[in-house]
Amino acid sequence: MQDHVTLDWADGSYDFKLPWASCAEIERKADAGIQAIYERVMIGQAHLADVSEIIRQGLLGGAGGEVDGQAVECKPVIVERLMKRYVTGDSARPFVESWTLARTVLHTFMQGYEPAQVDGSKKKAEPEADLTAST
């Protein structure tokens, strides 16, 4: 069982992981416990701050990705640019895309993630909705 998930998102493929310290930061910003946040995210009653902070912390915890075949490190400045462009900025992708991503990332922290097995090999997570954002 994995505690992280790799997804095609934004301009590449990114690893998302929520360590305990990141969840504590999500709790602090949401002024709610992680279980309450999880419940409202899963039933479609997420707050904007829930969604954006889960994605932000997931990127920081995952620490990396790949864009155009090149490895990228998700340092805070890079994460902020990604957040503004794809999640919170004026030309951000539709909310449902961010909500679906946040739901997948938080569910992975809460329940773990088991990659699908195809011919004995592991493959990337397949999110419930297409998380690839066109630019």
Stretch 23-34: mean pLDDT, rounded? 97
Q: Could you tell me if 58 and 16 are in contact, meaning their C-beta atoms sit under 8 angstroms apart?
A: yes
pLDDT of residue 120: 55
Nearest Cα residue to 101 out of 25, 22, 41, 28: 41
**Alpha-carbon span 98 to 5, nearest angstrom:** 15
| All residues at 6 or more sequence positions from 46 whose CB lies less than 8 Å from its CB, including other chains | 37, 40, 99, 102, 103
Q: Which of 18-27, 80-89, 114-123 has the lowest mean pLDDT?
A: 114-123
What are the pLDDT digits (tens) for 92-105? Answer: 999 999 999 999 99
Six token digits for residue 15: 């690893």
**Alpha-carbon span 128 to 104, nearest angstrom:** 8
pLDDT of residue 132: 42
- Kindly list the distances between the CA atom of residue 113 and the CA atoms of 25, 48, 95, in Å, as whole numbers in the listed order: 22, 24, 24
| Mean pLDDT, all residues of the chain | 89
What are the pLDDT digits (tens) for 46-96? Answer: 999 999 999 999 999 998 999 999 999 999 999 999 999 999 999 999 999
Domain spans of the chain, in order of start? 4-112
